[in-house]
């Protein structure tokens, strides 16, 4: 039996698609090991790992024990998740002995994109094929792998990032740290890992040919960068296990009536913006389920809801909605019949889940790849994006503006139907079996892994 190992990095946005991929691989007569960097930064990651390995006892867990954690915690200017990725990178030399000790020897390692530059040399030395899993969109991949070619140019002077044969990416969509002069962690991470991707054996993207055809054709046609290995659109990866949250409030709401509001696992809004958001939700007149987040890292999010949004707002939102300040399993919410819309920061996993369940989206990107993802919301017909709202924290978006956009989303039957047709696309090309869901592009790749080792 061929043995495949997977190596995710930091944050739910990276871990979740890896777990979904691992779960799919179990249907293909493979031995699967997941190497989990330890400790995780967020509580959500450690809880989901526990739950995952109890659900899939046939998948083996190996911990990569991280070094230098003490050195990283004090740097408050950088995003804690980028700092954690940096710790994993600095601990990656420990992988060499871990990978060689795995039995039977690996047919392939699937590595998170953020670890490309540090892990590819290790797998080359061990003669293990290394496939990079890119956990955002194919369009973001075009920027990721070509950014290093422009790293010395004055990006701030450009109007847009040009990639041959593709629509230019407007400067305002590019993650702001990439436009800065200084060498911040995001810039270093994209420059170094993007450059080394050509040395990998293949790249996997959780996306669909039907929604990202141009980007995928440019990537595979040598238009973005020469020498890139094959880029495979394996997705959309389906949810892999049900956590069966109790959603009693949702169960009592009419079908399609509730707007779900969440900005993912690592985005905290300012108190002022949260107040305006609460005001906007109330003014819209629609029912809502709102997950409030006050800190980027969930372990540090220890205030009560009232402390964060105030007593008055806490009381008034109860009339029309449910507001919580704890982790809810998003798949359970998006698959609930009462949910008819999603106000989202456009993390790539959130969008793939909205596509999978056919829920229309009001895009409000906050940072990172999210504006590029938001542009796909419009292009696919999944929903609407008010691009004048800018990045999270740039300006305060007023309650009245939010209310108008919520009404535009929730009151639009055409959008609801378009989101349903995106769902059809998302599920096309899948063979739905009783016990397994097999994806065709992935099945081809697996055949390659099996052949390479035979």
Kindly state whether residue 11 participates in binding ligand UDP, applying the rule CB under 6 A: yes
Nearest distance from C-beta of residue 125 to ligand UDP, angstroms: 32
**Residue from 10, 201, 353, 361 binding ligand UDP (CB under 6 A):** 353
Q: Which of 264, 340, 365, 383 binds ligand UDP (CB under 6 A)?
A: 264
Stretch that binds ligand UDP, among 152-160, 166-174, 309-317, 323-331 (CB under 6 A): 323-331
Does the protein bind ligand UDP through residue 186 (CB under 6 A)?
no
Shortest gap between Cβ of 98 and ligand UDP (angstroms)?
26
The CB density around residue 247, as the number of other CB atoms within 10 Å, is 18
Query: Which span sits near ligand UDP by CB under 6 A: 118-126, 213-221, 309-317, 345-353?
Result: 345-353
Count of residues that interact with ligand UDP, criterion CB under 6 A: 20
* Candidate segments 26-34, 120-128, 189-197, 261-269, binder of ligand UDP by CB under 6 A: 261-269
**Complete DSSP assignment for 50-63:** HHHHHH-TTSEEEE
Which residue stretches of 128-266 are H helix? 138-146, 185-196, 213-220, 248-251
For residue 327, state whether it binds ligand UDP (rule: CB under 6 A). yes
Structure token pair of residue 217: 């054709």
* 280 sits near ligand UDP (criterion: CB under 6 A): no
Q: Which of 80, 280, 347, 392 binds ligand UDP (CB under 6 A)?
A: 347
Please state, in angstroms and as integers, the Cα–Cα distance from residue 96 to each residue in 14, 34, 104, 127, 162, following that order: 22, 15, 15, 11, 38
| Euclidean distance between CA atoms 365 and 432, whole angstroms | 33
- Alpha helices (runs of H) in 264-341, residue ranges in sequence order: 271-284, 305-309, 311-317, 330-334
Q: How far is CA 10 from CA 16, 82, 112, in A?
A: 10, 8, 9
What phi and psi, each to the nearest 5 degrees, are found at residue 6? -125, 140
Least distance between ligand UDP and beta carbon 41 (Å): 12
Stretch that binds ligand UDP, among 154-162, 173-181, 214-222, 264-272 (CB under 6 A): 264-272
Residue 329 makes contact with ligand UDP by CB under 6 A: yes
Distance between CA atoms of 451 and 454, rounded to whole angstroms? 5
Contact 398, 276 (CB under 8 A): yes
Q: In whole angstroms, how close is the CB of 330 to ligand UDP at the nearest point?
A: 3
Nearer to ligand UDP, 134 or 449 (CB): 134
What are the strands of the beta sheet with 202-205, ordered from one edge?
A: 60-65, 30-38, 2-7, 108-112, 130-134, 202-205, 231-233
Close Cβ partners of 182 (under 8 Å, ≥ 6 residues apart):
none
Nearest by Cα to 358 from 286, 264, 427: 427
Per-residue binder mask for ligand UDP (CB under 6 A), 284-303, x = binder: -------x------------
Using rule CB under 6 A, residue 308 touches ligand UDP = no
The yes-or-no answer on residue 14 being catalytic is yes
User: Out of 89, 187, 195, 266, which residue is the one contacting ligand UDP (CB under 6 A)?
Assistant: 266
Helix axes 12-25, 348-357, angle to 10 degrees: 50
Tokens of 134: 């890119």
Q: Which is nearer to ligand UDP, 12 or 274 (CB)?
A: 12
CB-nearer residue toward ligand UDP: 8 or 264: 264
Task: Report CA 275 to chain centroid distance, whole Å.
Answer: 26
Among the listed ranges 32-40, 113-121, 169-177, 257-265, the one in contact with ligand UDP (CB under 6 A) is 257-265
With tokens 């020498």, the residue in question is 227
Q: 132: which strand partners? A: 111, 203
Pick the binder of ligand UDP from 2, 330, 375, 380 (CB under 6 A).
330
Write down the catalytic residue from 3, 14, 84, 367: 14
95 or 138: CB nearest ligand UDP: 138
CB of 17 to ligand UDP, least distance (A): 8
Taking CA atoms, 163 is separated from 157, 189, 264, 351, 365, in Å, by 16, 20, 29, 24, 23
Q: Is 392 in the site for ligand UDP (CB under 6 A)?
A: no
Residue 16 makes contact with ligand UDP by CB under 6 A: yes
Q: Which of 260, 385, 418 is nearest to 331 (CA)?
A: 260
332 noted as active-site residue: no
- Least distance from ligand UDP to the Cβ atom of residue 101, Å: 31
Which of 18, 348, 356, 389 lies at the binding interface for ligand UDP (CB under 6 A)? Answer: 348
Residue among 3, 28, 84, 112 flagged as catalytic: 112
Tell me if 193 contacts ligand UDP by CB under 6 A: no
Structure tokens at 296: 């980027």
Answer for which of 33, 265, 284, 375 binds ligand UDP (CB under 6 A) is 265
Catalytic residues: 14, 112
Positions touching ligand UDP (CB under 6 A) are 11-13, 16, 262, 264-267, 291, 327-331, 347-350, 353
């Amino acid at each position: 039996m061929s043995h495949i190992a997977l190596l995710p990095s930091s944050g739910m946005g990276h871990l979740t698609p890896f777990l979904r991929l691992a779960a799919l691989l179990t249907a293909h007569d493979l031995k699967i090991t997941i190497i989990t960097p330890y400790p995780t930064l967020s509580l959500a990651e450690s809880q989901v790992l526990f739950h995952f390995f109890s659900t899939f006892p046939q998948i083996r867990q190996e911990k990569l024990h991280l070094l230098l954690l003490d050195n990283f915690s004090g740097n408050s200017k950088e995003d804690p998740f980028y700092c954690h990725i940096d710790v994993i990178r600095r601990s990656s030399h420990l992988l060499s002995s871990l990978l060689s000790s795995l039995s039977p020897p690996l047919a392939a390692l699937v590595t998170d994109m953020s670890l490309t530059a540090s892990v590819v040399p290790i797998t080359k030395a061990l003669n293990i094929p290394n496939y990079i899993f890119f956990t955002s969109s194919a369009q973001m991949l075009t920027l990721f792998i070509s950014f290093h070619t422009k790293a010395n140019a004055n990006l701030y002077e450009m109007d847009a990032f040009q990639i041959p044969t593709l629509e230019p990416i407007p400067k305002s969509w590019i993650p702001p740290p990439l436009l800065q002069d200084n060498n911040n962690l995001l810039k270093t991470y994209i420059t170094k890992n993007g450059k080394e991707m050509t040395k990998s054996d293949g790249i996997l993207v959780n996306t669909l040919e039907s929604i990202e055809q141009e980007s995928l054709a440019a990537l595979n046609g040598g238009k973005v960068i020469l020498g890139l290995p094959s880029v495979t659109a394996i997705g959309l990866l389906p949810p892999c296990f049900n956590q069966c949250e109790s959603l009693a409030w949702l169960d009592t709401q009419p079908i399609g009536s509730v707007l779900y509001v969440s900005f993912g696992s690592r985005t905290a809004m300012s108190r002022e913006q949260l107040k305006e958001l609460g005001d906007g939700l109330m003014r819209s007149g629609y029912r809502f389920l709102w997950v409030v987040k006050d800190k980027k890292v969930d372990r540090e999010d220890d205030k009560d809801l009232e402390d964060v949004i105030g007593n008055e707002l806490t009381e008034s939102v109860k009339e029309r909605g449910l507001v919580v300040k704890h982790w809810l399993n998003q798949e359970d919410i998006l698959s609930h019949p009462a949910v008819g819309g999603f106000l989202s920061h456009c993390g790539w996993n959130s969008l793939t889940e909205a596509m999978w369940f056919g829920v229309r989206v009001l895009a409000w990107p906050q940072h990172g790849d999210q504006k590029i993802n938001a542009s796909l919301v419009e292009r696919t017909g999944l929903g609407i994006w008010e691009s004048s709202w800018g990045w999270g924290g740039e300006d305060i978006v007023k309650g009245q503006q939010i209310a108008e956009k919520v009404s535009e989303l929730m009151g639009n039957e055409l959008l609801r139907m378009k989101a349903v047709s995106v769902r059809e696309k998302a599920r096309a090309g899948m063979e739905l079996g009783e016990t397994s869901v097999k994806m065709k592009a992935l099945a081809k790749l697996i055949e390659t892994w099996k052949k390479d080792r035979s």
